[in-house]
Amino acid sequence: MSIPSFVIGIAGGTGAGKTTVARTVADTVGEAVTRIPIDNYYEDLSHLAFEERTEVNYDHPDAFEWELLREQLNALLMGQPIEMPQYDFEAHNRTDERVTVEPTDVIVLEGIFSLYDEDILEMLDLCVYVMTDADVRILRRIERDVIDRGRGLEGVIDQYLETVKPMHEQFVEPTKKNADVIIPEGANRVAVDLLIEKIQAELAADGPERTDDPDSELSFSEPPRD
C-alpha cells in the first residue's frame, strides 16, 4: 500500500477528452496510477422514479455528493483504501456495487468538476484542463451517449441545449482559471506525453523501490497532508 505522492485533477467540458487523457496516462504509467472518475460521485437518486431521474440537471455542481468525494480522496491521501461508488448512465443512478480502491502513488481525479471545489483543489498537485471546442464536444458526446450510454439523439440534443451548455458556461469553463496546464483537443499526443513524463519524474523522485511495508528496509512513512 502507498501514500499517494502526486494527485492530478483533469477537468474540462463534456466530450473534451478527459477520460481519454486519464486512461492513456493510467495505461502508460501502469499500476502506480489510480483513476477516480467524479461521475461515480453523482448523488444517489434511488428515491426518484426513472422518469424523474431523466429530468435532473446533471451539469450543476449540486448533482454531486461532494462530502463523500472529499472524504474518500482524503482517505486515499492518508494511505487508506476506499469503497468507491459506481455509476450507471443508463439508469441515471448509482449502482449497488462499490469497488475497493487501494491508494497508489498517483491519483488521477477526472470529471467536469475536478477543478471546482476549493477543498479538492487543495488536495491537487497538478491541475489540468482539457479544452476542446464546443462543436467538437457535442459531436463526440452525441456519438458516445447514443452508443455507450443508451440515449436517443433527440434527448441528447435537448439535454445539451437545456442544461449541459448553460451549466458548462456558468460552472465548468470558469474552472479553467484553476489549471496549471491546458491540453487542447483531448488526446493530444504531445501534451499527454509531457504529462506522462511529469508523472514518471515524480515517481522517480520518490524512489523506484518505494514501499510502506514495515518489514522492508526501504519502508518509510509520510505525515498526512493538511
Ligand X SMILES: Nc1ccn([C@@H]2O[C@H](COP(=O)(O)O)[C@@H](O)[C@H]2O)c(=O)n1
Ligand Y SMILES: Nc1ncnc2c1ncn2[C@@H]1O[C@H](COP(=O)(O)OP(=O)(O)O)[C@@H](O)[C@H]1O
- 153 CB-side CA count, 13 A: 2
Element (H, E) at 28: helix 18-29
Cα distance between residue 130 and residue 153, in whole Å: 25
- Residue 164 binds to ligand X (criterion: CB under 6 A): yes
Q: Cβ(24)–Cβ(187) under 8 Å? A: yes
Residue 185 phi/psi, 5° resolution? 70, 10
Q: 92 is in the binding site of which of ligand Y, ligand X, none (Cβ under 5 to 8 A by kind)?
A: ligand X
Residue 84 phi/psi, 5° resolution? -80, 130
Question: Under rule CB under 6 A, which residues in 37-76 are in contact with ligand Y?
Answer: none
C-beta of 12 vs 85, nearer to ligand Y: 12
Cα distance between residue 109 and residue 114, in whole Å: 6
Looking at 14-22, 69-77, 176-184, 194-202, which segment touches ligand X (CB under 6 A)? 14-22
Taking residues 198 to 217 in sequence order and writing x for each that binds ligand X by CB under 6 A, - otherwise, the string is --------------------
Q: 82 is in the binding site of which of ligand X, ligand Y, none (Cβ under 5 to 8 A by kind)?
A: none
Q: 186 is in the binding site of which of ligand X, ligand Y, none (Cβ under 5 to 8 A by kind)?
A: ligand Y
- Residue 89 binds to ligand X (criterion: CB under 6 A): yes
Looking at 12-20, 27-35, 77-85, 191-199, which segment touches ligand X (CB under 6 A)? 12-20
Question: Under rule CB under 6 A, which residues in 107-126 are in contact with ligand X?
Answer: 111-112
- Residue 15 binds to ligand Y (criterion: CB under 6 A): yes
∠ CA(66), CA(67), CA(73), 5° rounding? 85
- Residue 59 binds to ligand X (criterion: CB under 6 A): yes
Residue 161 DSSP label: I
- Residue 10 binds to ligand X (criterion: CB under 6 A): no
Residue of 54, 13, 30, 8 lying closest to 137 (CA atoms): 13
How big is the chain, counted in residues? 226
Enter the C-alpha cell of residue 43. Answer: 448523488
Q: How far is the CB of 39 from ligand Y (least distance, A)?
A: 9
Among 19, 34, 40, 104, binds ligand Y (CB under 6 A): 19
Distances in Å between the Cα of 27 and the Cα atoms of 16, 77, 84, 221 are 19, 21, 20, 27
Binding site for ligand Y (CB under 6 A): 12, 14-20, 140, 144, 185-187
Binding site for ligand X (CB under 6 A): 14-15, 18-19, 39, 42, 58-59, 89, 92, 111-112, 164
